[in-house]
């Protein structure tokens, strides 16, 4: 094999010198095309969430036309909710497709995996859902933005609501995984009352009969739960069937526009915490919701809204720079200004480049057209900054 | 299993390795550095498939919990790095020690059973490891944890370069292939194959079958753990997803797809599986449908996997 | 505490009969045809989707369930004829690979036809509501109906296996397949019937859970492993084993999941007990399987090893 050695050495030398490996060098191709990679979970049981987000982003891109006034190329990839595969796919977007922005994902574990491969190459990563505490705090990064929230916040909303209601005895339930544990911790951050019981269910559990039996036995003042996706659908239906409807059902990421089509009437009156609801009263929101309804025949949820905003965010920043993305500092500054009309009204970034926004209590209702949605009830937090922002020092 | 066939398989493996060695050049010519990234992942899975083939193909022990060893390897990197120990050699050593212990205990229990019962009891142990790591909150639990850096080699962070990492992984694969090849060809290997064919006879000759099987099981676990160390470095990320039963299943599929009991086939299976996946995804959102159809047709029309196809082609030509 | 225990026992029983419906088919296919069918969980999912669609089409859950059964039988026959039949003489590993291919095909097809969002099936009015047990505890009527339906199928299967000619062939086939074939029994037809029967039972399970669990693309995968655990614990090929294995697994899962941590609190301090309980609860079923196989390597009622 000796004759191959010079070739290998040559390849080795070139690759070692390749600029893509240098810290913070733009990976983009440098032509007039704006390239954006979307990383969402589009297969498996959680695909409904990823589809909402993709639809939301695409809707904004269609409405605006050329994002930032540039010819736009959007590449959609399915992370299959498999973090190590997602890391490779993110690398592929950066190294092969030379995207300027990576947008997504839905799940925190996927974000954990793609964060470093994307941000270390100087590409901008915009999370439209996952907001784990480390990236909001100590591990905040200049190339990372979130248009969603910090993961704990929606749970804190419900904790504050339970506190304000004067509940003394709340039953807590979440799946036995990291986000589930974070959720109950978030709730307890803003709730000081008694805990009737605390149950961790198996991830992916679909039958909650034994947990419901415990709730019936304890007769708590309220239930707080975090059951995203299909788990939430089953819990809501079974909660209703078990005749527990009289115990207030407080939740986060459980009763929303992705699950309501399946739960339908069973979820009516159930409460949740959110940064937005489809009936929020402003022009940008009315346009967004009606366009989404026209395009997909379904009511958009926060997953769609936050992805829609990510597209608007990119558009506004690139427009401000007249399409010149070579100066990364200028690009980051333009993004940080967040100069666009969000359907949620006020929107600005904090020091950790997570949103500083209002949070609300929302309730599941049936619309006049027979569809279901969440509806605003009251504002719980105003211009709420997440608790980890204090740990963030941007370099 | 005749001598020329074994020889042919070594040649096949050498051709595979030569192809791998040239991959970075292709990537450079095609201006596609991503090929090297995915190449390293294929190599790491190739090591794991090779390790599994050692017991599955030669010892008829179908382990459905081998992803646990990937997990030991991956978490050895994450946990030791957290405590400031970043050396690749130490990561591998720790992974191997833990895996050897685990394989020794669970293997001794599992080998009481046979056939599908063996498959399921190894699954049980794999799932226990999976749930153990999901409960490790300090390392992100279910979400896993990103690595701040890759392992260091002799104090240098040279593995950060994808190309160096690729060649190091290739070297490890070649070394382990050589080791596996030697094991299979040795007296030990022949006893193992004999147990697969006829355990009673081997026992009658005076060997203790279970001791041989257990030894092979432990070696295989340790090799898989090394794959885990490399995989964690490749992804720069560690999570219980490495340990789920889906992953154990994929390793089995790689071995069977390539042709069990051939060593080089296992590596070819890993290549095929990952390349097919990456390639089909480009064409259709419903690539899994196409992939499923290919799997079914493959089994129905080529009983011995890719190795079977290639051997038929070779025979047809000569 | 006793109330809770009664409830948990009922819940365990309900999950148990459901697992039995799926596992019975799997163990028969496994034991008699010697085919490892990874696609068995997918059949459960297909049953759910078909019931949901037929119920929506006809406006009645009962009609939906009734229409689903012949459809399921047809699917079973076609699948056996097109793919499974060609796998009889192949190794278990080939079967695993091919049926995994079927899983991928089925999952993707379901996604193309029904989309990715979970589908809810309305509760039939006849069985809506719950009956009071003790104190504030109530139990949904529908779940009692599931238990009754599952037990009825179990009894029916028991009678068939032990008191009919087909059952005799099934029993003989599970232990001495070659001899049955040598005696001139049309083994191909027997296999087709067994596979169809297994498909119908799995689809039936998927259909009857539709009103309490939503139907989604992951439901097949979620039961697959648990079903294999049941089959292996019970002993491959044994319908009786599948029944007791299913009940045992379900009880350990539901009762152990709740009372394990409570029991642990008695010996450990609460925080440590909580942590240990959360780590151990999902492992319980696997620990049970490992322990049973350690003591009885061929399962509880297994004839062959």
Angle in degrees, CA A35, A36, A39, rounded to 5 = 150
Averaged pLDDT for residues A239-261: 89
Report the pLDDT value the prediction gives residue B25, as an integer from 0 to 100: 93
| B171: contact with C, CB 8 A cutoff | no
Report the pLDDT value the prediction gives residue A390, as an integer from 0 to 100: 93
Report the pLDDT value the prediction gives residue A336, as an integer from 0 to 100: 94
Three-state secondary structure call for residue C140? strand
Report the pLDDT value the prediction gives residue A15, as an integer from 0 to 100: 40
Averaged pLDDT for residues B209-237: 95
Angle in degrees, CA B181, B277, B175, rounded to 5 = 20
Reported as type and span, the H/E element at residue C131 is strand C130-132
**Worst-scoring range by mean pLDDT, A11-15, B173-177, C159-163, C254-258?**
A11-15
Provide the pLDDT confidence category of residue B318 given band limits of 50, 70 and 90.
low
Give B211-224 pLDDT, tens digit per residue.
999 999 999 999 99
Tell me: pLDDT of A216 over 90: no
Reported as type and span, the H/E element at residue B124 is helix B115-134
Three-state SS across chain A?
CHHHHHHHHHHHHHHHHCHHHCCCCCCCCCCCEEEEEEEECCCCCCHHHHHHHHHHHHHHHHHHCCHHHCEEEEEEEECCCCHHHHHHHHHHHHHCCCCCEEECCCCHHHHHHHHHHHHCCCCEEEECCCCCHHHHCCCCCCCEEECCCCCCHHHHHHHHHHHHHCCCEEEEEEECCHHHHHHHHHHHHCCCCEEEEEEEECCCCCCCHHHHHHHHHHCCCEEEECCCCHHHHHHHHHHHHCCCCCCCEEECCCCCCCCHHHHHHHHCCCEEEECCCCCCCCHHHHHHHHHHHHHHCCCCCHHHHHHHHHHHHHHHHHHHCCCCCCCHHHHHHHHHHCCCCECCECCEECCCCCEEEEEEEEEEEECCCCCEEEEEEEEEEEEECCCCHHHCCCC
| Residue B253 near residue B265 (C-beta atoms within 8 A) | no
Report the pLDDT value the prediction gives residue B1, as an integer from 0 to 100: 45
Report the pLDDT value the prediction gives residue C181, as an integer from 0 to 100: 78
Cβ distance B120 to C30 less than 8 Å, yes or no, reads no
Distance CA A123, CA A47 (A): 26
Tell me: pLDDT of A200 over 60: yes
**Cα of B27 to nearest chain C Cα, Å:** 31
Report the pLDDT value the prediction gives residue A3, as an integer from 0 to 100: 39
Pairing of strands A348-349, C138-140: unpaired
Cβ distance A198 to C274 less than 8 Å, yes or no, reads yes
| A264: contact with C, CB 8 A cutoff | yes
Distance CA C125, CA B1 (A): 66
Report the pLDDT value the prediction gives residue B280, as an integer from 0 to 100: 86
For residue A349, what are the contacts with CB-CB under 8 A and spacing of at least 6?
A145, A335, A336, A338, A355, A356
Give C190-246 pLDDT, tens digit per residue.
889 999 999 999 999 999 999 888 888 888 887 888 999 999 999 988 889 999 999
Averaged pLDDT for residues C64-78: 96
Averaged pLDDT for residues B53-68: 93
**Cα A58 from chain centroid (whole Å):** 16
Total CB pairs under 8 A between chain A and C: 106
Nearest partner of C16 among C130, C206, C146, judged by Cα: C146
The CATH superfamily of A21-149+281-358 is Response regulator (3.40.50.2300)
Report the pLDDT value the prediction gives residue B315, as an integer from 0 to 100: 76
Interface predicted TM-score (ipTM) of this complex, two decimals: 0.86
C203 vs C187: which has the higher pLDDT: C203
Q: How many CB atoms lie within 10 A of CB B199?
A: 16
Tell me: pLDDT of A27 over 80: no
Alpha helices per DSSP H over B83-114? 88-110
What residues of chain A lie within 8 A of the CB of C285, using their CB? none
What residues of chain B lie within 8 A of the CB of C283, using their CB? 127-128, 131-132
Edge-to-edge strand list for the sheet holding A71-78: A71-78, A33-40, A101-103, A124-127, A144-146
Q: B93-97, B158-162, C95-99 — which one is most confidently predicted on average?
A: B93-97
Closest-approach residue (CA) in chain C for A41:
C116
First to last CA, chain A: 48
For residue C56, what are the contacts with CB-CB under 8 A and spacing of at least 6?
C64, C121
The CATH superfamily of A153-274 is Response regulator (3.40.50.2300)
Interface test with B, best of C286, C300, C302 (most B CBs within 10 A): C286
Of B112, B288, B295, the CB nearest to C98: B295
Dihedral angle at the C-alpha atoms of A194, A197, A203, A206, nearest 10 degrees? -120
Report the pLDDT value the prediction gives residue C261, as an integer from 0 to 100: 67
Cβ distance C140 to A214 less than 8 Å, yes or no, reads no
**Cα of C297 to nearest chain B Cα, Å:** 5
Report the pLDDT value the prediction gives residue A132, as an integer from 0 to 100: 87
Report the pLDDT value the prediction gives residue C119, as an integer from 0 to 100: 85
Give B106-123 pLDDT, tens digit per residue.
999 999 998 889 998 999
Average of per-residue pLDDT values in chain B: 90
Give A323-372 pLDDT, tens digit per residue.
888 888 999 999 999 999 999 998 999 999 999 999 999 999 999 999 99
Tell me: pLDDT of A7 over 60: no
Closest-approach residue (CA) in chain B for A107:
B143
Cβ distance B237 to A7 less than 8 Å, yes or no, reads no
| B281: contact with A, CB 8 A cutoff | yes
Give A256-272 pLDDT, tens digit per residue.
998 898 888 889 999 99
For A201, A347, C287, the CA distances from A343, given in Å and listed in that order, are: 35, 9, 51
Closest-approach residue (CA) in chain C for A257:
C117
Averaged pLDDT for residues B284-292: 85
B138 vs A348: which has the higher pLDDT: A348
Report the pLDDT value the prediction gives residue A13, as an integer from 0 to 100: 39
Closest-approach residue (CA) in chain B for C282:
B131
pTM (two decimals): 0.85
Structure tokens at A99: 């995207």
**Cα of B60 to nearest chain A Cα, Å:** 30
Pairing of strands B145-146, B237-238: antiparallel
Structure tokens at A314: 């990119």
**Cα of C183 to nearest chain A Cα, Å:** 47
Closest-approach residue (CA) in chain A for B41:
A88
Report the pLDDT value the prediction gives residue B6, as an integer from 0 to 100: 64
Provide the pLDDT confidence category of residue B317 given band limits of 50, 70 and 90.
low
Averaged pLDDT for residues A214-240: 88
Give B89-108 pLDDT, tens digit per residue.
999 999 999 999 999 999 99
Cβ distance B142 to A179 less than 8 Å, yes or no, reads yes
**Worst-scoring range by mean pLDDT, A89-93, B146-150, B300-304?**
B300-304
| A265: contact with C, CB 8 A cutoff | no
**Cα of B256 to nearest chain C Cα, Å:** 7
Report the pLDDT value the prediction gives residue A8, as an integer from 0 to 100: 40
Tell me: pLDDT of A252 over 60: yes
Distance CA B154, CA B131 (A): 34
Report the pLDDT value the prediction gives residue A47, as an integer from 0 to 100: 84
Q: How many CB atoms lie within 10 A of CB B101?
A: 13
Tell me: pLDDT of A12 over 80: no
Domain regions of chain A by residue span:
21-149+281-358, 153-274
**Cα of C268 to nearest chain B Cα, Å:** 18
Pairing of strands A71-78, A33-40: parallel
| B241: contact with A, CB 8 A cutoff | yes
What residues of chain B lie within 8 A of the CB of A96, using their CB? 32-34
**Cα A171 from chain centroid (whole Å):** 26
- Residues 232-261 of chain C with CB under 8 A from chain B are 232, 236
Average of per-residue pLDDT values in chain C: 87
Give A161-194 pLDDT, tens digit per residue.
999 999 999 999 998 777 888 899 899 999 999 9
| A326: contact with B, CB 8 A cutoff | no
Angle in degrees, CA A345, A108, B270, rounded to 5 = 140
Cβ distance B164 to A181 less than 8 Å, yes or no, reads no
Report the pLDDT value the prediction gives residue A25, as an integer from 0 to 100: 41
Beta-bridged to residue B145, according to DSSP, are B238
Cβ distance A217 to C137 less than 8 Å, yes or no, reads yes
Cβ distance B120 to C97 less than 8 Å, yes or no, reads no
CA atoms within 13 A on the CB side of A252: 31
**Cα of A324 to nearest chain C Cα, Å:** 39
Tell me: pLDDT of A154 over 80: yes
Neighbours of chain C (3+ CB pairs under 8 A): A, B
């Amino acid at each position: 094999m000796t004759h191959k050695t010079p070739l290998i050495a040559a390849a080795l030398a070139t690759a070692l010198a390749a600029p893509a490996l240098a810290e913070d060098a733009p990976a983009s191709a440098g032509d007039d095309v704006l390239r954006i990679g979307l990383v969402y979970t589009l297969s498996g049981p959680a695909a409904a969430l990823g589809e909402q987000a993709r639809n939301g982003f695409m809707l904004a891109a269609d409405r605006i036309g050329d994002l930032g006034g540039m010819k736009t190329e959007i590449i959609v990839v399915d992370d299959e909710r498999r973090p190590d595969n997602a890391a490779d796919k993110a690398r592929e977007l950066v190294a092969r497709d030379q995207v300027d922005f990576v947008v997504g994902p839905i799940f925190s574990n996927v974000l954990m995996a793609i964060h470093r491969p994307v941000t270390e190459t100087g590409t901008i990563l915009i999370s439209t859902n996952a907001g784990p505490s480390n990236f909001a705090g100590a591990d905040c990064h200049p190339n990372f933005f979130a248009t969603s929230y910090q993961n704990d916040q929606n749970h804190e909303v419900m904790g504050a609501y339970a506190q304000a209601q004067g509940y003394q005895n709340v039953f807590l339930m979440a799946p036995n995984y990291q986000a589930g544990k974070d959720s109950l911790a978030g709730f307890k951050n803003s709730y000081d009352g008694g805990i009737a019981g605390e149950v961790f269910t198996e991830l992916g559990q679909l039958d909650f009969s034994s947990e419901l039996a415990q709730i019936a036995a304890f007769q708590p003042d309220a239930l707080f739960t975090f059951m995203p996706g299909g788990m939430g659908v089953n819990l809501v239906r079974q909660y209703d069937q078990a005749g527990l409807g009289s115990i207030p059902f407080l939740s986060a990421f459980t009763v929303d526009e992705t699950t309501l089509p399946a739960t339908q009437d069973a979820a009516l009156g159930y409460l949740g915490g959110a940064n937005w609801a489809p009936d929020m009263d402003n022009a940008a929101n009315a346009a967004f919701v009606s366009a989404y309804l026209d395009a997909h025949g379904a009511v958009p949820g926060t997953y769609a809204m936050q992805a829609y905003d990510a597209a608007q965010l990119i558009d506004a920043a690139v427009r401000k720079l007249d399409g010149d993305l070579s100066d990364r500092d200028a690009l980051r500054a333009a993004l940080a200004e967040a100069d666009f009309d969000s359907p949620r009204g006020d929107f600005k970034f904090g020091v950790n480049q997570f949103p500083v926004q209002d949070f609300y209590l929302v309730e599941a209702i049936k619309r006049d057209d027979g569809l279901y949605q969440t509806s605003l009830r009251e504002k719980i937090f105003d211009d709420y900054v997440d608790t980890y922002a204090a740990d963030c020092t941007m370099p | 299993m005749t001598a020329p066939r074994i020889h042919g398989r070594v040649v096949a493996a050498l051709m595979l390795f030569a192809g791998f060695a040239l991959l970075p050049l292709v990537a450079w010519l095609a201006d596609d550095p991503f090929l090297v990234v995915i190449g390293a992942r294929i190599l790491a899975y190739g090591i794991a498939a090779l390790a599994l083939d050692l017991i599955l193909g030669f010892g008829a022990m179908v382990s459905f919990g081998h992803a646990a060893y990937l997990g030991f390897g991956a978490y050895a990197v994450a946990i030791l790095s957290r405590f400031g120990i970043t050396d690749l050699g130490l990561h591998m050593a720790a992974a191997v020690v833990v895996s050897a212990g685990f394989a020794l205990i669970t293997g001794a229990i599992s080998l009481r059973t046979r056939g599908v019962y063996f498959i399921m009891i190894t699954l049980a142990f794999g799932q226990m490891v999976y749930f153990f790591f999901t409960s490790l909150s300090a390392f992100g639990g279910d979400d896993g944890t990103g690595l701040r850096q890759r392992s260091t080699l002799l104090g240098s962070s040279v593995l950060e370069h994808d190309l160096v990492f690729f060649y190091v992984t290739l070297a490890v694969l070649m070394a382990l292939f050589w080791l596996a090849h030697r094991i299979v060809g040795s007296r030990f290997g022949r006893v193992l194959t004999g147990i697969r064919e006829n355990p009673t006879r081997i026992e009658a000759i005076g060997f203790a079958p279970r001791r041989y099987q257990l030894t092979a099981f432990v070696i295989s676990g340790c090799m898989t753990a090394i794959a885990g160390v490399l995989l964690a470095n490749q992804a720069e990320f560690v999570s219980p997803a490495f340990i789920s039963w889906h992953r154990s299943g994929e390793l089995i599929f790689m071995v069977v797809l390539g042709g069990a009991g051939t060593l080089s086939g296992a590596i070819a299976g890993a290549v095929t599986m990952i390349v097919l996946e990456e390639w089909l995804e480009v064409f259709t959102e419903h690539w899994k449908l196409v992939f499923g159809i290919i799997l079914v047709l493959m089994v129905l029309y080529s009983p011995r996997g890719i190795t079977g196809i290639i051997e038929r082609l070779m025979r047809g030509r000569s | 505490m006793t109330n809770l225990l009664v409830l948990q026992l009922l819940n365990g029983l309900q999950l148990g009969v459901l697992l039995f419906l799926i596992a019975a088919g799997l163990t028969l296919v496994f034991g008699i045809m010697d085919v490892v069918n990874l696609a068995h969980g997918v059949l459960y999912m297909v049953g759910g989707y078909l019931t949901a669609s037929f119920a929506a089409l006809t406006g009645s859950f009962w009609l939906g369930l009734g229409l689903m059964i012949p459809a399921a039988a047809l699917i079973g026959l076609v699948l056996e004829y097109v793919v499974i039949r060609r796998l009889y003489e192949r190794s278990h590993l080939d079967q695993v690979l091919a049926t995994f291919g079927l899983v991928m095909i089925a999952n993707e097809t379901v996604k193309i036809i029904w989309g990715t969002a979970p589908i809810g099936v309305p509760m039939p009015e006849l069985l809506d509501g719950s009956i009071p047990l003790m104190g504030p505890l109530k139990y949904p009527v529908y779940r009692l109906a599931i238990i009754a339906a599952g037990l009825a199928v179990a009894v029916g299967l028991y009678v068939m296996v032990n008191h009919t000619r087909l059952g005799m062939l099934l029993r003989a086939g599970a232990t001495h397949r070659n001899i049955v074939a040598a005696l001139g029994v049309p083994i191909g037809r027997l296999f087709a019937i067994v596979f169809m029967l297994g498909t119908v039972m799995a689809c039936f399970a998927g259909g009857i859970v539709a009103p309490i669990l939503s139907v989604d693309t992951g439901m097949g995968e979620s039961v697959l492993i648990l079903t294999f655990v049941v089959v292996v614990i019970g002993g491959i090929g044994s319908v009786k084993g599948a029944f007791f294995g299913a009940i045992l697994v379900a009880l350990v899962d539901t009762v152990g999941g709740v009372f394990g941590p409570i029991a642990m609190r008695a010996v450990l301090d609460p925080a440590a007990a909580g942590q240990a309980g959360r780590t151990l609860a999902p492992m319980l079923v696997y620990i049970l399987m490992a322990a049973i196989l350690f003591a009885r390597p061929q399962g509880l009622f297994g004839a062959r090893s």
